[in-house]
Amino acid sequence: MSDRDQLDERKVTILKAIIKTYLETGEPVGSRTISKYTDLNLSSATIRNEMSDLEELGYIMQPHTSAGRIPSDRGYRFYVDQIMQEKEEEVTEIKDMILKRVDRVELLLKQMAKLLAQNTNYAAMISAPQFHRNKLKFIQLSKVDEEKLLVVIVVEGNIIKNTMIPIHTELDDEGLLNLNILLNNALNGLTIEEINLEVISRMKVQAGPHSDVVDRVLGEVATAIRGDDDDLQIYTSGATNIFKYPELSDGERASKLIGTLEQKDLLQGLIDDVNSSESGSGIQVYIGDEAPVKTMKDCSIVTANYELGEGLRGTIGIIGPKRMDYEKVLSTLRNLMTQLDTILKKDER
């Protein structure tokens, strides 16, 4: 039975009014308030009856007898799915930011997180792109000193990774040059899946005595791309914004929440979940217990996936109280995504 079946138009109006006022004030909403706030011209008594029904149906609840009503998780869900309509929310400044430095992704991400946190007054998180089906663009080996080789790996979207690997066998400049050419010829333009055993063994044969270097480099390419070197690239900003919302800012809760934001590995679960359940528009809303992170059960989380290049995906998330301004957050995120999209499309070649 769908929500619409349970609720007649009047109930929807009232529910809407309750949620809207609660979003604004953060205080339980009473029947008298609704009676005045709506243009239904109903007495508070009638509203009370309706509210009683709505409570029975699970859309609203009372913090205690003789208090007004507040939305339940289900109420919020209904609001987000059925009632709400997005505003037009512009995120300016983004264009400047991006145009300035497409070449330093992690800086861009940090700034974007900050911007989002400031714009929304909630906490923001953003994960660095995970490059699954992503093409290798360029590899460069350089001899830094007699014993160390610098490996620079550039992936589509201009993500750069460096690592040092030790040199075991003799390696002169010419050999290095050949190795560079070999690696680039063999690997450039390939996705991680396309670097299969065939490609690898062919390379090793060609590399001759330096096949161990090839091995190491491939290892680095793999870890670099899988990104599983316990360096979870997740940036957060505006954690302290949660202090603006009394329902989250008592010691216990605040500590746990901020702790979660700090300890990025917990956020990874969230990101994985987003990626696995992949909704149509790419924007997803988690309300209360719906969130895959238990410490955030008193929060709502809005996530969006962004895409830098082909298969180069990351996740943005806004974390705030359940009574967050969903309209604003959703449209801010949507705006950000389209801006990102158009700008990055232009930048592609």
Beta strand ranges found along 106-201 (DSSP E): 123-127, 130-131, 136-145, 148-155, 159-166
Please, what sign has the CA dihedral across residues 68, 15, 323, 266? Answer: positive
Q: Please list, in sequence order, all residues whose beta carbon lies within 8 angstroms of the beta carbon of residue 284, skipping any fewer than 6 positions away.
A: 274, 277, 302, 303, 304
Are 82 and 3 in contact by the 8 Å Cβ rule? The answer is: yes
Minimum separation from the CB atom of position 70 to a copy of itself (A): 22
DSSP state of 298: T
Q: How far is the CB of 31 from DNA (least distance, A)?
A: 3
Among residues 162, 196, 223, 277, which is the contact residue for a copy of itself, using CB under 8 A?
Answer: 162
Distance CA 273, CA 129 (A): 15
Based on the shown chain and the rule CB under 8 A, indicate whether residue 145 belongs to the binding site for a copy of itself. yes
275 binds, among DNA, a copy of itself, none (CB under 5 to 8 A by kind): none
Shortest distance (Å) from residue 40 CB to DNA: 8
Segment (H or E) for 303: strand 299-307
Q: Which two tokens stand for residue 270?
A: 């969230």
The single residue among 40, 98, 154, 171 that binds a copy of itself, judged by CB under 8 A, is: 154
Kindly tell me which of 62 and 281 has the beta carbon lying closer to DNA.
62
φ, ψ (nearest 5 deg) of residue 138 = -170, 140
**From the list 6, 37, 38, 55, which residue makes contact with DNA (rule: CB under 7 A)?**
55
Binds 259, which of a copy of itself, DNA, none (CB < 5 to 8 A, cut-off by type)? a copy of itself
Cβ neighbours around 103 below 10 Å, total:
10
Query: Which of positions 206-245 make contact with a copy of itself (CB under 8 A)?
Result: 229-231, 237-240, 243
Q: Which stretches of the chain bind DNA, using CB under 7 A?
A: 27-33, 41-46, 48-49, 51-52, 55, 62-69
Q: Which stretches of the chain bind a copy of itself, using CB under 8 A?
A: 103-104, 107, 110, 137-138, 140, 142, 144-145, 147, 150, 152, 154, 158, 160, 162-164, 229-231, 237-240, 243, 249, 251, 254-255, 258-259, 262, 349
